[in-house]
């Protein structure tokens, strides 16, 4: 990510936090902090939690500067890919923090439509760039078998990328398909897919040590 891009990302996170502070007094005493697989609110907390929720994007952005410094495999960090992944994750946190505000204020915006679309897009972007992430200890599918070998890492992340891409595409219409069955199917497909990717990684490892 260019220096200009980094500055813009910092501005977005700080303006977002300032905006949440500005609307804090309008929030009810309880705000939503968790949604179920059908994007229905199933958990709330004191509105004081908004100080933390609002700060998470900036905190995450700062953490992303630290990871390449402390990672023993820092040489594997590609600036473009890492910068894009950082931006996507930080912007997702910004969106979720404001989704909490919108839901708490009951502004009449379809939470399910927005959440499913934005998170679906996030999965699609991550799925496209996951195969480009080189072996490291913080970003990607970090099971012991993938970390043990560069080829296993690459193959695991290629399959993982397809999984994220498919799940992302399936998430896009969740806000329109108003049934919990569809949401639950996608949720279980994601869990099964994650398990399958890790099993695939282990199988590659076993084949590798037998070669």
Q: Tens digits of per-residue pLDDT, 71-108? A: 999 999 999 999 999 999 999 999 999 989 998 998 87
Q: Which residue has the tokens 């049934």?
A: 179
Residue 211 has a pLDDT of 64
Could you tell me where the beta strands, DSSP code E, fall in the chain?
A: 30-35, 41-46
**Contact in structure between 154 and 109 (CB atoms under 8 Å):** no
> Minimal CA–CA distance to 126: which of 156, 96, 167, 97?
167
Residue 132 has a pLDDT of 95
**Contact in structure between 109 and 95 (CB atoms under 8 Å):** no
**Contact in structure between 157 and 116 (CB atoms under 8 Å):** no
What tokens were used for 102? 């919108």
Consecutive 10-residue runs of the chain (211 residues): their mean pLDDT? 90 97 95 80 90 96 96 94 94 93 85 86 96 95 96 97 96 86 92 97 93 64
Residue 1 has a pLDDT of 78
């Amino acid at each position: 990510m260019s220096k200009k891009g980094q500055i813009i990302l910092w501005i977005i996170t700080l303006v977002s936090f300032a905006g949440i502070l500005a609307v804090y007094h309008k929030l009810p005493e309880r705000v939503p902090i968790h949604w179920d697989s059908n994007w229905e609110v199933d958990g709330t907390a004191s509105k004081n939690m908004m100080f933390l929720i609002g700060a998470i994007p900036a905190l995450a952005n700062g953490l992303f500067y630290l990871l390449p410094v402390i990672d023993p495999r820092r040489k594997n960090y590609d600036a473009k890919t890492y910068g894009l992944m950082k931006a996507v994750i930080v912007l997702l946190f910004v969106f979720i923090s404001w989704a909490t505000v919108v839901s708490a204020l009951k502004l009449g915006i379809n939470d399910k439509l927005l959440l499913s679309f934005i998170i679906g897009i996030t999965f699609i972007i991550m799925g496209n760039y996951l195969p480009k992430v080189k072996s490291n200890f913080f970003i990607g599918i970090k099971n012991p078998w993938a970390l043990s070998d560069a080829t296993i890492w690459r193959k695991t992340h290629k399959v993982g990328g397809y999984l994220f891409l498919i799940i992302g595409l399936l998430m896009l219409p969740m806000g329109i398909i108003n049934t919990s069955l569809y949401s639950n199917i996608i949720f279980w497909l994601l869990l099964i897919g994650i398990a399958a990717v890790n099993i695939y990684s282990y199988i590659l490892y076993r084949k590798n040590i037998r070669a």
